[in-house]
Structure 1
């Protein structure tokens, strides 16, 4: 299977990757869903946009624990690095990710479409100034803008908030152009992101799924299912491609 999948990727003309929480679990980032998911420990309401506006302090307490205590120690794993290598060599054209942890960028990927935004940027809701989260004192919450005193919000999508238009457009444009899609660590449950591989399949793409378990994609659109963890699978595929 690894040999066949490597051949398909190597011979592709427009290969993209679509990543979900499963790729980052191996970097220590907890998933949102499932037995060990974040929503088993926190009320999802804390990340509802209207709740954030009404109770920014309480919302920020959870945000700090979930996204900045957990994510701050996470490093790219072999799967992130493998995708960056494939992009560097012109084999992979883009990564569409549901993740907000910045690990694709940290690994060296350049063409990354962040469907749900990025936790490492904070935006002032009053003057639209952006901040690097690492440069903001999150011991004082809710954090405020240095320029105008406005409330800072993480630049990722809350419940009740729309998908960033540019990321949305680029993701589906890439899906329509793709002849191969590597789906890594996605359950295929989150709308509308899960439609990206579906649109690619409808446009004629071959779907390679890397997931130790079955997903909503497996029996619907998947052509090759590599039942391995993300890092192990991608490292083996890249090794085979360069043999």
Structure 2
């Protein structure tokens, strides 16, 4: 059966309300051993929209599914045309105060690890180490035939050379780096094959309808087992891969805290949900802990 993206989620009326008090987050971080799980909401202040908030990209855009991508050359052409254009904007995004705060907490030794559902690489640019990219990264490309990986920047150059006059104007950009273009705008776009075997190239991201690689999933579960608490940043937890980690922590009796402006699917498991913008909330926490938030690495190509 073909799986389609989950387009919406309605929170239960009896979920605990959000708060603007960051004290519990500061208290948990001060004790150390915190595992961060971040979502698209953390990158909105960098100009990358999320999926499910009011005005999020799912209100106008249905993401590519694994089944569509692998089953249709036309779908692949449409995806790569839109993604090629989106990459130009996506690649210019810079880390915001939220990303920098997470990196600062890690430098202070307060974190047990960082897991992100995002594919933008902004945690690493902000200075975080050992980030587990649960859903992969747009900065890599994989061949579906031979399994070879290559940098996205190399593919971008090849697509530029193959489509020298491709200059459409996009209606918007999405969290997966996909630009909003019409079928007419992508008509005539030419994809390129793997340089090693001629196979089909795919971004190294987990599409809707595709499973997280088992080894990566087990690594994330191990990080939850080793952590003393879980801090969710900017995720609605609608996707099971993130919610599963929250449930695991809660079942083990570990505190779960969430910073997200809107209700989430994991609120029933949380000690608190701070309903503030991520940059505002995490900067306030850093100030309370006297943790300087600064520094940024060179951009990823």
Whether TM-score is above 0.5 comes out as yes
Distance in 1, matches of 2:127 and 2:151, equals: 18
Task: Give the structure 2 partner of residue 49 of structure 1.
Answer: 66
Aligned equivalents of 2:60 and 2:273: distance in 1?
31
Q: Which ranges of structure 1 fall in alignment gaps of 5 or more residues?
A: none
Unaligned 5+ residue runs, structure 2?
1-20, 163-189, 292-301
After TM superposition, the structure 1 = structure 2 runs for residues 145-156 of structure 1, keeping only pairs within 5 Å, are 145-156=194-205
Which residue of the partner structure matches residue 228 of structure 1? 276
CA contact (8 A) 2:243 2:265 kept: no
User: TM-score, normalised to structure 2's length?
Assistant: 0.73
Distance 1:91 1:34, change over 3 A: closer
Length-normalised TM-score, structure 1: 0.89
CA distance in 2, matches of 1:87, 1:79: 13
Q: Is the counterpart of residue 38 in structure 1 residue 57 in structure 2?
A: yes
CA contact (8 A) 1:2 1:240 kept: no
Structure 2 distance, partners of 1:5, 1:115, is 23
Shift of 1:193: 2.1
Q: Deviations over 1:35-61 (max 9, x none)?
A: 4333333333xx222322322212222
Task: Judge conservation of contact 1:102–1:120 (CA < 8 Å) in 2.
Answer: yes
More strand by share: 1
For 1:108, the equivalent position in structure 2 comes to 127
After superposition, the C-alpha distances for 1:53-110 in whole angstroms (9 at most, x for unaligned) are 32221222233344x1442121111111111111122111211111111111111111
Q: Specify the structure having the higher radius of gyration (Cα).
A: 2
Superposition CA RMSD, Å = 1.9
1:10 has 2:30 as partner:
yes
For 1:238, the equivalent position in structure 2 comes to: 286
Q: Secondary structure at the match of 1:231?
A: helix
CA distance in 1, matches of 2:97, 2:282: 7
Structure 1 runs, 4 residues or longer, greater than 4 Å off? none
Size of the aligned set, in residue pairs, is: 238
1:199 alignment partner, one of 238, 248, 264 = 248
Specify the SS of the correspondent of 1:73. Answer: coil
